[in-house]
Amino acid sequence: MNPTDTQHNDKTRLAQVQSVLADDLKAAGRAPGACSLIVVSKTQSAERLAPLVQGQPLALGENYLSGAWPKIKALGNVCEWHFIGAIQSNKTADIAEHFDWVHTLDRLKIARRLNDQRPAGAKALKVLIQVNLDDEPQKAGCHPSELPELAAQIAALPNLELKGLMSIPKPNADDPGQPHRKLAQCLADLQAAHPGMTELSMGMSADMTAAVAAGATRVRIGTAIFGPRPPKDTR
C-alpha cells in the first residue's frame, strides 16, 4: 500500500469508528457526544498521524513516552495527549510536563510525583484511577476496595484534577458488558464524595459497543482505525 492509500484508509476508518460510536450512543439512549473517541496512536508514526489530525484535532492515546515523544514534538499543539500506559516513577516528570490526561494512575506515590512535577502555570493534569476489576495479579490498577482512600488522597493534590476511572477489563464472552457495568458502579459509589468524577475510560476496538452501553465517556480505539499492530510491539 502506498502512503496515500494508508492515509485515505486511516481517514475512512476513523470516520467509520466515529459513526459506529454515534450509533452505539443512540442505541444506548445516550446523548450525542456523551462518549468521545481517544485515537490510540501508539506505534504509529508522526508522519502517518499528521494528515489524520489536520483539520480535526484529535485526542491521542500513547502508552510509551519514548514512542510518544516525536509525535508530541510534531503535533503537540494541535492534539490532546492522553497517557494510557504503565507509569514508571522515573518517567513522571515528562508525563506531567507533556500530557493533558493520565488514565493509568493507580498509586499515591505516582500521583504525588505527577502533582509535584506539573509545571507551574499549567492547568491541573486530568487523571483517572485505573481499576483492576478482576484482581488479575499481572495487571496494573488498584483494587476496587482501595478506591475510596486513593480517590480522597488524589483529590487533595492541587495540581491534579481527578476526573474518573479507567479499566482494561478481562473480556467476558457470556456477558460482554459485565466488566463495564462493574466499573460504572465503582464510579457511582465514589460520586457522592467526588461529584467531579464523571469520566469512565473503558472500551477498546473489541468491546466498544458494550462499553458505550454501560456508560463509557471515553473509548480508546487503535486497531479499528489503524489495523493490527505488529505483534509484541506495544511500544
Binding site for ligand PLP (CB under 6 A): 40, 42, 63, 84, 168, 204-206, 220-224
CA distance 157 to 185: 24
Of 155 and 200, nearer to ligand PLP (C-beta) is 200
Of 103 and 194, nearer to ligand PLP (C-beta) is 103
Residue 56 grid coordinates? 480535526
CA distance 232 to 137: 20
Of 79 and 155, nearer to ligand PLP (C-beta) is 79
User: What b/e sequence results for 133-166 when a residue is b if at least 16 CB atoms lie within 10 Å of its CB, and e otherwise?
Assistant: beeeeebbbbebebbeebbeebbebebbbbbbbb
Of 40 and 150, nearer to ligand PLP (C-beta) is 40
Shortest Å, Cβ 38 to ligand PLP: 8
Of 127 and 155, nearer to ligand PLP (C-beta) is 127
Shortest Å, Cβ 104 to ligand PLP: 7
Shortest Å, Cβ 11 to ligand PLP: 17
Shortest Å, Cβ 47 to ligand PLP: 20
Of 204 and 214, nearer to ligand PLP (C-beta) is 204
Shortest Å, Cβ 120 to ligand PLP: 30
Closest residue to ligand PLP using C-beta atoms = 222
Shortest Å, Cβ 149 to ligand PLP: 24
